[in-house]
Structure 1
């Protein structure tokens, strides 16, 4: 019994309950959704790691770098009509460590002429005390 108590204490010290930051991660994605729906792509990009090492995969394209990703968003979504209204649905958040999570979900745009939608898988990491997307794989 005493031996199991030490094991429990060790586990609580190594993996404290407050270390599962799914609420913080959800807030990053909710902030992105809100920024998109305001038409503010610069604010939307605050959810991504501001680094040339950030990776984005969509369709047949791999894109590297925060600046290149922002430029692509601005080119592909030049106005409110093309932006539409974005809705993210998180299906699962799997903590890989206290500093990394895999987030899987769906995205949907509601626009006047169409309603594109698809799925996403995000690697979100805690870097410099901030949760940011370091890898985004989005598809139709």
Structure 2
């Protein structure tokens, strides 16, 4: 009886430990959506690792660093009309370890004149006890 109870307890602990990171990661994207939709690019960037080694890949460009990525966002989305309304859809989160995950999904902007959309793959890592996006590959 004790052995069976211990096995169930260990299974529950393993499940709760694995479920929490994906919830934390989904929360990052939810917070990014909310910041984007209120026109707050500085807030949007809080989901990213604030480090010069953070990497953003889109189109034919590689960007390195939080500051450079924020500057590119501000240049490419100078006002609320170009920002539009952002919607993320997470398709899958694969935990690679207790400190790293791959997230794949779709993004969609709804604007007055168009509705651009595409896919993304994120490497999300737990750094200094906080989940952050360290690599973002986004495409149309």
Aligned residue in 1 for 2:83: 83
TM-score by length of 1: 0.90
* Partner Cα separation in structure 1 for residue 23 and residue 104 of structure 2: 15
1:29 and 2:29 correspond: yes
* Partner Cα separation in structure 1 for residue 123 and residue 16 of structure 2: 20
For the aligned residues, what is the CA RMSD? Answer: 2.1
Task: Provide, for residues 78-119 of structure 1, a one-character-per-residue CA deviation record: whole Å limited to 9, x for no partner.
Answer: 000000000000000000001110000000000011100000
* Partner Cα separation in structure 2 for residue 49 and residue 133 of structure 1: 6
Aligned residue in 2 for 1:19: 17
Deviation at 1:19, TM superposition (A): 2.0
Q: What does 1:62-81 correspond to in 2, within 5 Å? A: 62-81=62-81
Aligned residue in 2 for 1:61: 61
* Partner Cα separation in structure 2 for residue 29 and residue 121 of structure 1: 12
Q: Which consecutive residues of structure 2, in runs of 5 or more, have no partner in the other structure?
A: none
* Partner Cα separation in structure 1 for residue 125 and residue 84 of structure 2: 28
Deviation at 1:126, TM superposition (A): 0.5
Aligned residue in 1 for 2:45: 45
* Partner Cα separation in structure 2 for residue 74 and residue 18 of structure 1: 39
* Partner Cα separation in structure 2 for residue 19 and residue 79 of structure 1: 41
Deviation at 1:72, TM superposition (A): 0.2
* Partner Cα separation in structure 1 for residue 39 and residue 30 of structure 2: 14
Deviation at 1:122, TM superposition (A): 0.2
In the alignment of these two chains, the number of paired residues is: 135
Q: Which consecutive residues of structure 1, in runs of 5 or more, have no partner in the other structure?
A: none
Deviation at 1:18, TM superposition (A): 2.4
